[in-house]
């Protein structure tokens, strides 16, 4: 076994490496795109088919292309049919159809968990693929990484959700109340104060997953400690990487929302669908570039590993134990 010499990587070089790796491993991008589309299909088609009073009102396929649209779900829940069912009124439907609509409502409620499950499952495989670069994509290694870290990332996602709600809901509520009392001008102070905190929070949880894969551990406490240590020991590279990645994401959103969508004829739903799908694909690429850049940064520090699992360096490539 030969030790691996880690070279320093700054935020800009990590960002460039992330962009290239996200483009190189097209299988990872395609898998993540299909998983997101499948989750969006389940979240939109079932409620739309059961609850939409007028199927031509808001075609579900337009919403599928742009992922899970919370406003669309709210509109669906407030449709006349749904409101009548929830109040026990008679909307002119047979009892069987009303029961079917209620069943669709109860079925759609836990569907957001599918997005969480798919993300927890795929994260290990895609991070392992980027950690093993420049080796080619291998299905066996990808699926092994997905399964190996699935339980740990599932637990980590649950903890992240609970802690995020406990911390940010009171903070955001207090900020909204302060803006309502003091005035709208306070938004220009609150947002610059909260934005760095939100980015730091995002970085800590993403780096926890990265540290777990690069460090070869499924101990989420150890991985979180390594992420905190890494983030605060290398604040400048992390800030540059996330600043560039989020700037790229903002530019993509601006191009799509302000540049492309106003010019599209909305009655050509196939064209709208194609453009929206392309936007989703580029948005996922930006996210994967951020993760791949984080892996490049993380590999500059030797983290402690579990069960004597170490990385070998053989012929210029990282060799992970099978």
DSSP assignment of 48-85: HHHH-SSTTTS-HHHHHHT---HHHHHHHHTSHHHHHH
**Percent of the chain whose pLDDT exceeds 90:** 25
Q: Which two tokens stand for residue 262?
A: 């106003």
The mean per-residue pLDDT over the stretch 255-276 comes to 81
DSSP, collapsed to helix, strand or coil, labels residue 291 as helix
pLDDT, tens only, 119-169? 889 999 999 999 998 889 999 999 999 999 999 999 998 898 889 888 888
Q: Mean pLDDT score of the chain, rounded to an integer?
A: 74
Q: Domain coordinates of the chain in residue numbers?
A: 11-39+113-315
User: What is the pLDDT confidence band of residue 32, given thresholds at 50, 70 and 90?
Assistant: confident
Read off the pLDDT of each residue in 235-249 and give the average, rounded to a whole number. 90
Cα–Cα distance measured from residue 274 to residue 62, given in angstroms and rounded to the nearest whole number = 10
**Statement: residue 291 has pLDDT above 80:** yes
- Angle of helix 139-148 relative to helix 112-131, nearest 10 degrees, comes to 120
Q: Give the model's pLDDT for residue 25.
A: 92
- Separation CA 318–CA 130 (nearest Å): 11
Give this prediction's pTM. Answer: 0.72
* Mean pLDDT value of segment 87-115: 53
| SS3 call for 274 | helix
pLDDT in the model for residue 34: 87
Q: What percent of the chain has pLDDT over 70?
A: 66
Stretch (H or E) spanning 211: helix 187-214
Contact (Cβ atoms closer than 8 angstroms) between residue 10 and residue 270: no
Look at 28-42, 126-140, 163-177 and tell me which has the smallest mean pLDDT: 28-42
Whole-number Å distance between alpha carbons of 165 and 185: 26
């Amino acid at each position: 076994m030969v030790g691996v010499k880690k070279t320093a990587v700054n935020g800009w070089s990590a960002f460039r490496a992330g962009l290239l790796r996200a483009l190189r491993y097209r299988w990872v991008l395609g898998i993540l795109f299909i998983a997101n589309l499948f989750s969006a299909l389940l979240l939109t088609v079932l409620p739309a088919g059961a609850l939409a009073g007028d199927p031509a009102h808001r075609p579900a396929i337009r919403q599928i292309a742009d992922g899970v649209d919370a406003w669309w779900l709210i509109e669906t829940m407030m449709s006349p049919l749904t409101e009548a069912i929830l109040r026990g009124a008679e909307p002119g439907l047979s009892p069987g159809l009303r029961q079917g609509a209620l069943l669709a409502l109860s079925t759609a409620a836990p569907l957001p968990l599918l997005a969480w499950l798919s993300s927890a499952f795929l994260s290990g495989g895609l991070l392992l693929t980027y950690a093993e670069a420049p080796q080619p994509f291998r299905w066996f290694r990808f699926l092994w990484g997905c399964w190996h870290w699935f339980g740990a990332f599932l637990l980590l996602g649950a903890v992240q959700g609970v802690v995020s709600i406990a911390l940010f809901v009171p903070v955001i509520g207090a900020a909204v109340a302060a803006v309502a009392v003091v005035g709208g001008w306070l938004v220009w102070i609150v947002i610059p104060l909260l934005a760095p905190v939100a980015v730091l929070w995002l970085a800590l949880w993403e780096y926890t997953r990265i540290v777990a894969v690069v460090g070869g551990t499924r101990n989420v406490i150890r991985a979180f400690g390594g992420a905190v240590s890494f983030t605060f020991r290398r604040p400048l590279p992390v800030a540059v990487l996330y600043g560039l990645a989020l700037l790229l994401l903002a530019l993509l959103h601006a191009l799509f929302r302000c540049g492309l969508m106003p010019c599209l004829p909305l009655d050509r739903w196939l064209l709208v669908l194609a453009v929206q799908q392309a936007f989703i694909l580029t948005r996922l690429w930006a996210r994967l570039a951020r993760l791949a850049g984080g892996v490049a940064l993380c590999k500059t520090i030797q983290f402690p590993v579990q069960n004597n699992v170490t990385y070998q360096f053989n012929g210029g490539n990282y060799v992970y134990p099978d």
